[in-house]
Amino acid sequence: MGRLLPAACCAALLLLSSFACDSEPSQGLEYVGTGGEPVSIRLSSLTPEVMLDLDIEPGPQTFVLDTGSPVHLADVTGHYSVDVGVHRLQMTGLGLVFLNLPFVFEDFFESWVPVSGLLGANLLTYFDWELNYPDLTVTLFPAGFPERDPADARINFTLTGGGRYRLSNGETLDVGATRHLVYVDLEGTRILALVDSGASYMVIKQSVLDTLGAAGRPDHGTTEVVTAYGVISAPLTELETVAFSDAPEATQVSGVYTVVVSDDFLASLRVETGRQVDALIGGAYLSQFRLRFATSERIIDVHTTGVKRRTPTPIVPCRLPPVVEVTP
């Protein structure tokens, strides 16, 4: 099957204390440096990977830059010899040095998986930042973007969610709003979706496919989805067209690889955000663009290079972080 990346369709799960329609990230991020310099990424299965140094053995390691995860996760099986728990560390990466950054250390990946963890959206929400898939770079802008390209399509997003993330040992970590929600048009049908750079594919609910119609779609077999309830197989197909609803002509992509899952798969996002989230927007679509997240404005500047399809290979599994618990 080639290289497997169990983080490829990751949407991390929370123990919730509250939610809001649109929220600010929690306070307290400490870092040194001015940023603004592009940092190289690697696209493995259409998920962006960056090198990070957590100032512990075994030194710099590869992490998935994952807007679908509300926490930073580091694996203790074959990657780090650290006890399961929340550890606050110095991290060097993305052109800055971060101080006292909370990482969740868990038995998360198989030991042979070639990444050591996830860098979550709870860091990215403090910055204006750029994810440039065509040029294979990511850039943080602590002082804001020096300029904006008027030719870019401007996409509105809502930043929402938040609560407490529960580890397997019972420890918890409070997190702020990290869920980037946008409207997309799937074959002309408008739905609400989560921007999830840690997903290789689009992921849609079965009810969405039922609405769009399944007849005549390409059959790419199945891929594994690792859930809190065990491993399931999910069909892999294509959407004829996908576009951001705010700029459908400029952002339309054809033949987007898509995983179809039970509606229950995304139920936790509805509880966390108070919104009906019908899809995850992964690399099969996002990889066509340079994306600039103007966080304070809740705008994504989207620049297209004209390439309208990039087929991900090989077929990879999906994995969710630990179980969801919800408080009233």
Work out the pLDDT band at 311, boundaries 50, 70, 90.
low
Q: Which residue has the higher pLDDT, 154 or 315?
A: 154
What three-state secondary structure class fits 208? helix
Same fold, 31-141 and 153-304: yes
**pLDDT (tens digit per residue) in 247-291:** 999 999 999 999 999 998 888 888 889 999 999 999 999 999 999
Q: Percentage of residues in the chain with pLDDT exceeding 90?
A: 66
Distance CA 125, CA 72 (A): 13
Contacts of 117 (CB under 8 A, 6+ apart): 61, 63, 64, 72, 73, 74, 75, 79, 103, 108, 109
Rounded Cα–Cα distance for residues 46 and 286 (Å): 9
Mean pLDDT for the stretch of residues 285-306: 94
Cis peptide leading into residue 235 (ω within 30°): no
| Domain 153-304 class, CATH top level | mainly beta
Contact 43, 133 (CB under 8 A): yes
Are the beta carbons of 259 and 235 closer than 8 angstroms? yes
Instruction: Answer yes or no: are the C-beta atoms of 70 and 121 closer than 8 Å.
Output: yes
**Domain 31-141 listed as CATH 1.20.120.420:** no
Element (H or E) spanning 153, and its range?
strand 153-156
CA-CA distance, 297 to 285, in Å (whole number)? 23
H/E element holding 185?
strand 179-186
Please say if the pLDDT value at position 321 is more than 90: no
- Token digits of residue 134: 């065509």
The string of pLDDT tens digits covering residues 45-91 is 789 999 999 999 999 999 999 999 999 999 998 789 999 999 999 99
Domain spans of the chain? 31-141, 153-304
Distance CA 12, CA 15 (A): 11
Looking at per-residue pLDDT, the higher value among 214 and 304 belongs to 214
256 token code pair: 């987007």
Strand 189-195 and strand 279-281: the pairing is: parallel
